[in-house]
C-alpha cells in the first residue's frame, strides 16, 4: 500500500493513505490544491499543488478531482469597488421593487 508523506503546519510530517488526500486540479494550474485532515491534530490542511505535486499524488494513487473556474471569475473589472453605501442603496432599491411587485401581483398571490 502506498503511503504519502505530507506536512501538517502544527505536527510536521504525517503519513497518509491516498484515499485520505483530496486533490483538486484546476483549469488554472496555479490554483490547484491538495488537502487532508491531519491524523494527529485533526486540523484541515490545504496546500497549493503545482504540476509536479499533482503528478506525484496521482502516481501515488490519489484521485484527482477536476474543477473549472467560471469565466466570470477571470474577467477583469474596471471602475471603483462597491462601497457599503452602494450596498445599502441596492438593498433599498430591492425593497422598493418588492413593494412594487406586490402591488402589481394579481389578488390572492403574494
Ligand atoms: Zn496536525
List pLDDT tens digits, range 25-37: 999 989 999 999 9
Provide the whole-model pTM: 0.67
Distance 7 CA to ligand 1 centre (A): 8
Here the cell at position 63 is 484521485
In the reported structure, the alpha carbon of residue 55 is separated from the centroid of ligand 1 by a whole-number distance in angstroms of 24
Question: CA–CA separation, 8 vs 21, rounded Å?
Answer: 13
Q: What is the mean pLDDT of residues 2-6?
A: 95
Note the Cα 27 to chain centre separation in Å: 13
- 35 CA distance to ligand 1 middle (Å): 12
Q: Are strands 4-8 and 64-67 parallel, antiparallel or unpaired?
A: unpaired
Give the containing element (helix H, strand E) for 9: none
pLDDT band at 100 (very low <50, low <70, confident <90, very high): low
Task: Give the Å distance between the CA of 46 and the centre of ligand 1.
Answer: 12
Ligand 1 mean position to 79 CA, how many Å?
43
Question: How many beta carbons lie within 10 A of that of residue 24, not counting itself?
Answer: 16
Cα separation, 36 vs 10, in Å, equals 13
How confident is the prediction for the chain on average, in pLDDT? 90
CA 23 / ligand 1 centre spacing (Å): 18
Q: In the structure, what pLDDT confidence band is assigned to residue 97 with cuts at 50, 70 and 90?
A: confident
Ligand 1 center from residue 69 Cα (angstroms): 30
Ligand 1 mean position, distance from CA 58 (Å):
23
Q: Which of 2, 7, 5 is nearest to 61 (CA)?
A: 2
> Worst-scoring range by mean pLDDT, 38-47, 68-77, 89-98?
89-98
Task: Compute and round to an integer the Cα radius of gyration of the chain.
Answer: 24
Amino acid at each position: 500500500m502506498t503511503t504519502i508523506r505530507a506536512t501538517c503546519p502544527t505536527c510536521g510530517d504525517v503519513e497518509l493513505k491516498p484515499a485520505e488526500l483530496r486533490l483538486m486540479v484546476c483549469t488554472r494550474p496555479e490554483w490547484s490544491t491538495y488537502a487532508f485532515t491531519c491524523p494527529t491534530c485533526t486540523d484541515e490542511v490545504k496546500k497549493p499543488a503545482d504540476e509536479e505535486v499533482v503528478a506525484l499524488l496521482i502516481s501515488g494513487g490519489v484521485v484527482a478531482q477536476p474543477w473549472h473556474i467560471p469565466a466570470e471569475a477571470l474577467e477583469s473589472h474596471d471602475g471603483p469597488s462597491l462601497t457599503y453605501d452602494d450596498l445599502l442603496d441596492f438593498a433599498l432599491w430591492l425593497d422598493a421593487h418588492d413593494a412594487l411587485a406586490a402591488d402589481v401581483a394579481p389578488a390572492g398571490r403574494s
